[in-house]
Amino acid sequence: MSADLDPARIEALLAAHASPIGRPLHVVAESGSTSDDAKQAARRGAPHGAAFVADRQSAGRGRMGHAWHSPPGENLYASWVLRPRVPARLLPPLSLAGGLAVLDAVRELEGARLEPRLKWPNDVLVSGRKLAGVLVEALLAGDRVDAVVVGIGVNVRARAFPPPLDAIATSLALEGAGALDRGLLFSVLSAALARRVAQFETEGVASLAREVRAADALAGQEIAIDGARGTAAGLDDEGRLLVRGADGVLRAFAAGEVSIGTRPRGA
């Protein structure tokens, strides 16, 4: 496994970035899915902040049951066990925190070199192509949130993608980023995720929605969501996507898969 995923080095980076999450840290050469590892650990009582990182995933999962391209030596595949103090009904907009955290981390590491944008609810795009995806899964105990597993995949060193991803995906390397260190990215991302989840807990979804609006990759674009078409018109204060249909009516979507124009998923 490459030196950038050395666990002792990552522990030091987590401390240097004062990240309250990312520990206990489990780094493996291969996993089915780090989110499955995290869920299993959460069911066994893993604490808030426990993290699972793999150099490669054999069954990496994306949203809506899609596979996540997870070759070795290239990208960051990480999942965190979180135990946020929020009622289950408020969980869907928590996914905005994951996307914003990736945005924060890329901005912190790359400054103004890249201009990452958010494709609601939590895809991170650079130059209109997908750089990162976030998968939020909850373990519920009745209407109580027992744990939330936030799984994040960031394309870091990939120089090429197999079809059909080649038409829609990008990586930090392809975008000319300076830092291609997955351990550093994981540490900065851990600190950012902790801050964004705390913001969600203390200030609520409206404050996250405001920041997503400022980096919205969809605003003004013709989109399709769950069979409906229209023009993306930002987010409301509950974090729902607003879409104006051809009939002029504004509709709010709390969940769904968005495609832009006539391009395929992820674009």
Footprint of ligand BTN (CB under 6 A): 33-35, 57, 60-63, 66, 68, 77-79, 123, 133-135, 151-153
Residue 169: DSSP 8-state: B
Shortest Å, Cβ 266 to ligand BTN: 7
Cα-Cα-Cα-Cα torsion 169, 175, 179, 183, nearest 10 degrees, comes to 0
Smaller CB separation from ligand BTN, 19 or 34: 34
Q: How far is the CB of 203 from ligand BTN (least distance, A)?
A: 25
Instruction: Say if residues 26 and 51 touch (Cβ distance below 8 Å).
Output: yes
**Cis preceding-peptide flag for 264 (omega within 30 of 0):** no
State residue 141 phi and psi, 5-degree precision.
-120, 90
Q: Based on CB atoms, which residue is closest to ligand BTN, 49 or 133?
A: 133
Radius of gyration from C-alpha coordinates of the chain: 18
> Cβ closer to ligand BTN: 68 or 200?
68
d(CA 253, CA 214): 19
Nearest residue to ligand BTN, using CB?
A: 133
Instruction: Tell the smallest beta-carbon distance from residue 130 to ligand BTN (Å).
Output: 7
Least Å from the CB of residue 82 to ligand BTN: 14
**Measured from the CB atom, is 206 or 264 closer to ligand BTN?**
264
For residues 19 and 155, which CB has a smaller minimum distance to ligand BTN in the complex?
155
Distance of CA 226 to CAs 33, 212, 240, 244, Å?
27, 21, 14, 14
Which pairing describes strands 51-57 and 25-31: parallel, antiparallel, or unpaired? Answer: parallel
Output the smallest distance, CB 33 to ligand BTN, in A: 3
